Amino acid sequence: MSRQRFTGQIAVITGAAHGIGRATAEQLSTEGAELLLLDRLAAQVGELADRLVADGGAATGYPVDLLDEPAVADLARRLTAAYPAVHVLVHCAGVVHINGRQDSTFIEGGLAGWNELFGVNLKGAALLTHGLLPALINGRGAVVNVASEAAYRTRPNKWIYDATKAGMVSFNRSLAASLAPHGVRVNCVAPGGTITEMHLNDHADPEAARDELRAMRIPNLLGRFAEPAEIASAITFLASSEASFVTGTTLAVDGGGQASR
C-alpha cells in the first residue's frame, strides 16, 4: 500500500509530459496530490492527465511554452486565481538543444542556442515561480528544481546547457533564502545520466536505444544510468513533509557520479 504524503495538496509540474516530469507526476498522483501538469507538448500532457484521472487521480494538463513569457505569466495568474494555495512546484522542464542544433564548443558555435536554453531551463522556472508566489506562500509550499550533474562537470560541448544547470543550482540557493521567511522551502536535485526521451528521440528505434542504455556501463559508482522513477523519488521526498527541515540544498542523485570523479 502506497503512502499518501500529498493528499489534499495541489502540485504543479513543468515538463510533465515525459521523462522525469512524467515519473514525478505518476508518483505524486499515487500519493494523493491533485496535479496541474504543464508542458509545451499539448497532446502528450493531456493524455497523461487523462490517464492519471482514469487511474483514480486528479490531474489537468496545461499546454504552455516556457519561452513565451506572456503565456507563462497569464497561466500563472489563472492558476493562482483557481488554486489560491499551491503546495508543491516542481521544475522538470529542460532542453539540451533547440530545433536539432548539434552540440558544439564555444569556439565553434558561439552563443547559438543561448536564449532558448536559458529561456526554458532557467528563466522559465523563475518566471513561473514568481507568478505562483502568492499561492505558494498561502500553501507554505515546497519548490523542487531540477538541475543536473552537468552543473559540476567540465566539457567543451553542451556548454550552454551546463551553464543553465549551474545557474539553477545558484538560483535554488538564492530562492531558498528569499522564501524561507515566507514558509516556503526550496530544494534542488542534480540527476546523473537518466534514461529519458531527451536521449532517445533522435534514434530510429527509441525502445532499442533505451535497452542499450540500460545495459551500458557508465563511470559512476553504481555503473549505470538512472530510471526516471529513481529521480522522481528524490523529488517527491524533497517536496514532502519528511523534508520539512531541508531547504537551500542540492541533492546529487547521480549513482555516485560526483564521488567517482
- Name the DSSP class of 199: G
Cell of 38: 504543464
C-alpha cell, 116: 532558448
Sort strands 185-191 and 250-253 into parallel, antiparallel or unpaired: parallel
User: How far, in Å, CA of 233 to CA of 253, rounded?
Assistant: 10
Q: What are phi and psi of 78, to 5 degrees?
A: -65, -40
Assess contact for 200 and 24: CB atoms under 8 A: no
Catalytic residue selected from 62, 83, 152, 161: 161
Quick check: 158 and 148 in contact, CB under 8 A?
Answer: no
C-alpha angle 30-32-37 in degrees, rounded to nearest 5: 80
Q: Which residue has the cell 500563472?
A: 76
**Half-sphere exposure (CA, 13 Å, Cβ side) for 113?**
25
Q: Indicate if 161 belongs to the active site.
A: yes
Report the run of H or E that residue 91 belongs to, with start and end: strand 88-91
The CA angle 47-142-51, to the nearest 5 degrees, is 15
Catalogue the active-site residues: 161
